Amino acid sequence: MKRRDCFFGLHFDYHANEDTKDIGKGFSPEVLERIVAQVQPDFIQCDTKGHPGYCSYPTKVGTPAPHLMLDLLAKWREITKKHGVLLYSHYSGIWERCAARQHPAWASRGPNAEASEKMSVFGPYARELLIPQLKELAREYEMDGAWVDGECWAQELDYSPEVKALFAAETGKDPDGLAENEKALWVDFQRQAFFRYVEDYIRQVKAEFPDFEITSNWLNSSWVPDDLQITDFISGDLEPTNSVDSARFDGRLMQSYGRDWDIMSWGISFPVHHVKSAVQLMQEASVIMALGGGFQVYNMQDPQNTVKDEWAIPIWAELSGFVRSRKDFCHHAVAVPDVGVLYSPKAYYGCMPQSLFWRNNPYNTELNGVLMALCDTGRSVSVLHTQKPENLSAYQTLIVTDFTQMEEGVPERLLCYVQNGGKLLIVGAQAAENLSKVFEISMEKGTDQPVVEILGQAAKTELRCPYMRLLDTPGTFQMNECQVEGDLNCHNPPPTIFVAGQIPSFAAYRFGQGTVGVIPVSFGSSYLQERTWALKKFVMDCVENMDIGRAKVNKAGTVELLVTEKNGKTYVHLVNLLGEHRSQTVKTFDSIPAATDIQVELTLAHTPKSVKLQPENREISYQKTPDGIRISLPKVELYTIVEIT
């Protein structure tokens, strides 16, 4: 089996350090045998080297943990090999404290030449330690690959004299004397060096061990959105809290690359150790499975006693059964083009010219919020990557969010898409301003204290975010433009906010054979951080006004809808979003109420031969509509799949 065939896995690590005592003293092969037999994972990832830099096995290359009493890795390999389970290394790459102490010349340096505990991608670390150790794991332990941790998100800008000299030689510029508009060159120089570092160590390891599969975690993701074909697979780990919404965003972005990918959920809360229930993990897994990805769950390895939560093995087994029963209808399925949100790596980097990689940067945050809002309207929404060739005309509607830069040719492609009959929804003040000339829309900037009251069909909500004034249009929906007396950030006494005038909050324009809709307010961040029913309803009003989506579910925001294709069949995925996953005061829970009275409307070119519920394999009835079918379900407990042949 190769990683692309894997659907469900377990991840264990413990990041051995100099104070980790009695490693392996109480290891029980019976416990590991029980995990493999009861949970039946396709693969396991176990500890080999964490961020402290000490190896949890008797390495002959680097520094073993000082209190090793047993070669744990050999035991894990023996048992997993016996049962045909793949074994991958959890290995910390750039974040390497031990090597930084032993070889300070390998470490990156800060602006004041202070040494870091992160490795420089320009230095000999990969050649001297990382590559030899990965080869050691492949040769001595016959491991199947490595999940390299502590990479893109751990990298820091390197101000070493050697790096500055390399930059000067390549660009002819002194990094200490760059003008403000040139500083992005320095950052991109280091970013490209990171890509070369990853590509080089993977290439060198695979030259000797071609079947050893490697990923650098979070490469090709919301952290590093470039369409790079460097790793064998894409992988990362979700936010430990509110992992459901993390999966909805990160999963869609990983899906957009069209490669093999999986996502890891935390089986415990963080930072305090509380074990998640099977139901909580099933909900997180459901979002990922619906998107076509593989799923793995993290639990803590115990350096003395095999795993920390032996008592939770039945939880993992229950989760495994739930996941495996749905594999045939999910794994490697592709999204049916319907509502597509454009994702631009150039926009991602353009909003943070002095940072290497940052998942929660302004572009990602705004796009994430808009994506969640659109998904909460009950539409089937996927992400389109601007660096990948896409047939835009296949999508019923495209959405563009705020951006400072965009790949060359994208505005022209959007113009052609609309002229030929497509629907484009522009969301955000910056996006509206940047595309106003392309689509001949007259507008001007809003006030410096951006406060508006959005007026939907039957609700009003205040937003404090940038906006544009749409001119020469009555607009479909309105917003009150507000003025502020007092300190907007003060809570006691609060500022006085009063209406100064009314302007459009949404307008739709005919353009060529298509339609351009504009919401000139940057509401994404607000939706993400302060989700309100009134803002959700306003977005729904706009979506319904433009008649967005070929697939719709009535319980918007309660049930996630995604339509995919696999093996010539159409699959309608319905994931229950109820429960306490968004609460910051609830770390774990074991109950999710069922979503009831569900109706799905789907546009289809042909009358179905059969409609079944999976994994029950049960035929269900449906109603014909002028454009397709309507399916009624009394409830969705957690994750229901409708299979249409």
For the cut 90, the answer to whether the pLDDT of residue 272 exceeds it is no
Residue 525, phi then psi, degrees to nearest 5: -60, -40
Q: Which residues of 479-518 are buried (b: 16+ CB within 10 A; e: fewer)?
A: bbbbebeeeeeeeeeeeebeeeeebbbbbbbebeebbbbb
For the cut 90, the answer to whether the pLDDT of residue 456 exceeds it is no
pLDDT in tens, 571-603: 999 999 999 999 888 999 999 999 999 999 999
Please give the C-alpha separations between residue 207 and each of 124, 178, 213, 260, 357, in angstroms, as whole numbers: 19, 40, 12, 21, 29
Read off the pLDDT band of 66 (50, 70, 90).
very high
Residue 458's pLDDT is what? 79
Residue 151's pLDDT is what? 97
Would you say the C-alpha torsion 239, 241, 246, 247 has a positive or negative sign? positive
Q: What percent of the chain has pLDDT over 90?
A: 91
For the cut 90, the answer to whether the pLDDT of residue 49 exceeds it is yes
What would the two tokens of residue 446 be? 């809003």
Residue 390's pLDDT is what? 80
Going along the chain from its start, the domains and CATH numbers come out as 3-330 (3.20.20.80), 339-549 (3.40.50.880), 553-644 (2.60.40.1180)
Read off the pLDDT band of 489 (50, 70, 90).
confident
Residue 494's pLDDT is what? 81
Read off the pLDDT band of 113 (50, 70, 90).
confident
Read off the pLDDT band of 142 (50, 70, 90).
very high
Residue 493's pLDDT is what? 80
Residue 237's pLDDT is what? 96
Residue 537's pLDDT is what? 95
DSSP 511: E
Of 516 and 584, the one with more pLDDT? 516
CA angle 99, 102, 107 (to 5 degrees): 55
For the cut 90, the answer to whether the pLDDT of residue 457 exceeds it is no
Q: How many helices (H) and strands (E) does the chain have?
A: 17, 32
Closest CA to 9 of 327, 328, 333: 327
Residue 393's pLDDT is what? 94
pTM of the model: 0.95
pLDDT in tens, 337-371: 999 999 999 999 999 988 899 999 999 999 999 99
Half-sphere exposure of 289 (CA within 13 A, CB side): 31
> What number is the average pLDDT over the span 507-536?
96
Strand boundaries in 401-531, DSSP class E: 423-427, 443-445, 452-455, 460-463, 468-470, 477-485, 496-511, 514-519
Residue 435, phi then psi, degrees to nearest 5: -105, 5
> What number is the average pLDDT over the span 286-290?
98
pLDDT in tens, 156-178: 999 999 999 999 999 999 999 99
pLDDT in tens, 23-38: 999 999 999 999 999 9
pLDDT in tens, 620-642: 999 999 999 999 999 999 999 99
> What number is the average pLDDT over the span 245-272?
95
Residue 310's pLDDT is what? 96
For the cut 90, the answer to whether the pLDDT of residue 304 exceeds it is yes
> What number is the average pLDDT over the span 202-211?
98
Please check whether residue 54 is in contact with residue 303, taking contact to mean a CB–CB distance below 8 angstroms. Answer: no
All residues at 6 or more sequence positions from 207 whose CB lies less than 8 Å from its CB, including other chains: none
Read off the pLDDT band of 2 (50, 70, 90).
very high
Question: Going by DSSP bridges, is the β-strand pair 397-400/339-343 parallel, antiparallel, or unpaired?
Answer: parallel
